[in-house]
């Protein structure tokens, strides 16, 4: 059997657009001789549809779109060339409405009609998933025959519990190919987990596995594609492109005989054995390059997430404050790669506290990227605000409120420009700052999308080095990378005046936020007790800021937002020593 995996970028709610993309891929697959084409989970409507599924008309329209897809392939380009796409079976994800509730389902389409439906049985309800809020679990396996093979249909989470899956499919007879429709969001190194899960399933059933994943950005989530074809030994034979649409095509054969062993002679002499798969997979094209490491993964995820959030929400241009620091330089570089440098307006807003070096670096970074740069000094505005605020005798220009006023003026300028020119404001705060509240509400948090919200400061530096290596020149000026981090809101200010050094801070954040470790556990692991307690207090007391911050690209296994949902009003703490004070104030 020749199979195709149609990994495409679905836009949530764009039922017609998603159907047209699948029609095109279906036609390409048929033209290549494919007998079966597999599409991702909930491909008709996009993933995750969230409360849209409570709208009865949405569910009806989603079903109508599925039926249009089934009927429409008879008029496909392939059919016009004498190749009938109706002869190609397709498996497509959709929301199924029934008298007893809603199901996350897969339709098997044959000869222009829906021939069978499988309902997802394991519904994830952790991390970014809350499918049990919306869907009922299925309870029946689906095994169909096509091209002489016996195919078992599964959806995403169904394949992640091999012990359960073994029991679920027990009694179904021989399985040659396990199909999995997936919408598995990206985080760093997630592909390693997926390959292991696919391998487990392949070995369990002694069958090949076709795992078709979604690609594209949806709010905070990014789906990285990288659909997988594995043979019955569990070996990943080929993967689709990372962070791009792709049509992955391969031939799959099946033998009723048990697998054998081939003797091979390695270069060093002697002999070894290679297990011959009962169900081999033979791709039609050479493997495509994959990200080389986690930094390249993160970069590609940020670019895709920024592009899709911007364009899918109707924007064509973005703007951001360009401070001369590393966060804004990296954010601008990602935006330029996502949208083209001509569509990224960099705005520098100096005050008397900004050094000539950072002002020059802001211009240098924008010039390196080819982005337009607008300079709007805030000193006159700051003086006017200060004079007006002196109506309250308690106001002065010596403290934190005055520092934050500068950030709020900058936020107001950016939002005013956005309102006038219709460009999306990108905020430039990183995860280290977001975690501890080292930001100003309605100031540097003002905007529509936070590109590096889930990127720790130490990773920001790695991204800057990668950008320069990738370009073969200084995209992010070396002076920016080497400069001691500073907000420049008062003379001689450094981030380390208020925070631990970023190497230490990021280790604490990783442990407390991403791994849910307690203060005691972190201290016992060797981290300094005083700093652990101080940082945890900062994180806990700044939940209210994070709730009011814009969404951003999720790149870790636990990001703020859909992943980590804590109450704002909350007296619980894991800090051991309650005498520790926080060297930070709410802003």
Give the active site residues. 41, 120, 156
CB 421 within 8 A of CB 317: yes
CB 477 within 8 A of CB 329: yes
Cα separations in angstroms, 300 against 88, 154, 241, 329: 33, 29, 12, 17
> CB-based contacts of 462: which residues, under 8 Å, 6+ apart?
295
Q: Is the dihedral of CA 44, 46, 48, 49 positive or negative?
A: negative
Angle, alpha carbons 362-367-369 (nearest 5°): 100
Q: Which two tokens stand for residue 301?
A: 């995820």
DSSP result, 262-289: EEE--TTSS-EEEEPPSS-EEESSPPPP
Q: Kindly give the residue spans of alpha helices, DSSP state H, lying in 43-189.
A: 56-72, 77-80, 162-168
> CB-based contacts of 300: which residues, under 8 Å, 6+ apart?
224, 242, 243, 291
Q: Which two tokens stand for residue 11?
A: 């836009």
Could you tell me which of 316, 340, 307, 91 has the C-alpha nearest to residue 215? 307
Could you tell me which of 86, 90, 156 has the C-alpha nearest to residue 120? 156
Rounded CA-CA distance 259/443 in Å is: 64
At residue 101, φ and ψ (nearest 5 deg) are: 140, -165
CB 118 within 8 A of CB 151: no
Q: Which two tokens stand for residue 62?
A: 């989603």
Cα separations in angstroms, 378 against 145, 251, 327, 410: 70, 64, 20, 7
At residue 120, φ and ψ (nearest 5 deg) are: -55, 135
Residue 204's CB: how many other CB atoms inside 10 A?
17
Q: Which residue has the tokens 């929301």?
A: 95
Phi-psi region of 80 (alpha: psi -120 to 50; beta: other; left: phi over 0): alpha
Q: Is the dihedral of CA 77, 22, 97, 181 positive or negative?
A: positive
Helix, coil or strand: residue 531: helix
Residue 61's CB: how many other CB atoms inside 10 A?
17
Q: Kindly give the residue spans of alpha helices, DSSP state H, lying in 313-448.
A: 326-339, 356-369, 379-389, 400-421, 431-436
Rounded CA-CA distance 3/475 in Å is: 43
């Amino acid at each position: 059997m020749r199979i195709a995996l149609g990994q495409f970028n679905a836009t949530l709610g764009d039922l017609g657009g998603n159907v047209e993309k699948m029609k095109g891929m279906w036609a390409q697959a048929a033209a290549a001789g494919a007998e079966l084409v597999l599409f991702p989970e909930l491909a008709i409507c996009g993933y995750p549809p969230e409360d849209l599924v409570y709208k009865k008309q949405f569910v009806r329209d989603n079903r109508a779109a599925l039926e249009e897809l089934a009927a429409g392939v008879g008029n496909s380009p392939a059919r016009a060339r004498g190749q009938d796409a109706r002869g190609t079976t397709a498996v497509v994800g959709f929301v199924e409405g029934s008298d007893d509730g809603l199901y996350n389902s897969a339709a098997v389409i044959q000869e222009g009609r829906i021939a069978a439906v499988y309902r997802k049985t394991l519904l994830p309800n952790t991390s970014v998933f809350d499918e049990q809020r919306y869907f009922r679990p299925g309870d029946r396996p689906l095994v169909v025959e096509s091209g002489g093979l016996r195919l078992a249909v599964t959806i995403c989470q169904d394949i992640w519990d091999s012990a359960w899956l073994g029991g679920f499919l027990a009694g179904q007879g021989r399985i040659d190919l396990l199909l999995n429709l997936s919408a598995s969001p990206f985080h760093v190194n997630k592909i390693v987990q997926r390959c292991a899960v696919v391998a487990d399933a392949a070995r369990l059933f002694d069958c090949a596995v076709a795992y078709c994943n979604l690609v594209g950005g949806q709010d905070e989530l990014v789906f990285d594609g990288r659909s997988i074809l594995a043979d019955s030994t569990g070996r990943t034979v080929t993967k689709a492109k990372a962070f791009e649409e792709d049509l992955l095509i391969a031939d799959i054969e099946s033998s009723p005989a048990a697998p054998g062993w081939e003797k091979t002679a390695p270069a060093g002499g002697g002999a070894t054995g290679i297990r011959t798969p009962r169900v081999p997979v033979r791709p039609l094209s050479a493997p495509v390059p994959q990200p080389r490491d986690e930094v390249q993964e993160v970069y590609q995820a940020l670019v895709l997430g920024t592009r899709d959030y911007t364009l899918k929400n109707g924007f064509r241009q973005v703007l951001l404050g360009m401070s001369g620091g590393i966060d804004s330089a990296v954010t601008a570089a990602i935006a330029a790669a996502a949208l083209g440098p001509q569509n990224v307006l960099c705005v520098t807003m100096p005050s008397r506290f900004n050094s000539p070096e950072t002002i020059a670096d802001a211009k240098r970074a924008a010039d390196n990227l080819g982005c337009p740069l607008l300079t709007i000094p805030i000193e006159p505005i700051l003086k006017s605000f200060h004079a007006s605020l002196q109506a309250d005798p308690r106001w002065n220009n010596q403290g934190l409120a005055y520092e934050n006023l500068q950030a709020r003026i900058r936020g107001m300028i950016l939002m005013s420009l956005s309102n006038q020119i219709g460009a999306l404001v990108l905020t430039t705060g990183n995860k280290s700052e977001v975690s501890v509240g080292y930001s100003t509400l309605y100031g540097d948090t003002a905007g529509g999308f936070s590109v590096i919200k889930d990127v720790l400061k130490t990773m920001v530096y790695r991204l800057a080095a990668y950008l320069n290596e990738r370009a073969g020149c200084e995209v992010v000026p070396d002076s920016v990378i080497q400069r001691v981090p500073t907000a420049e809101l008062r003379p001689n200010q450094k981030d380390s005046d208020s925070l631990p050094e970023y190497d230490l801070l990021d280790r604490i954040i990783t442990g407390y936020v991403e791994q849910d470790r307690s203060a005691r556990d972190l201290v016992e692991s060797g981290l300094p007790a005083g700093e652990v307690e101080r940082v945890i207090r900062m994180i806990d007391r700044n939940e209210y800021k994070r709730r009011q911050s814009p969404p951003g690209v999720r790149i870790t296994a636990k990001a703020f937002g859909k992943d980590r949902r804590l109450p704002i009003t909350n007296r619980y703490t894991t800090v051991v020593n309650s005498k520790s004070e926080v060297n930070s104030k709410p802003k």
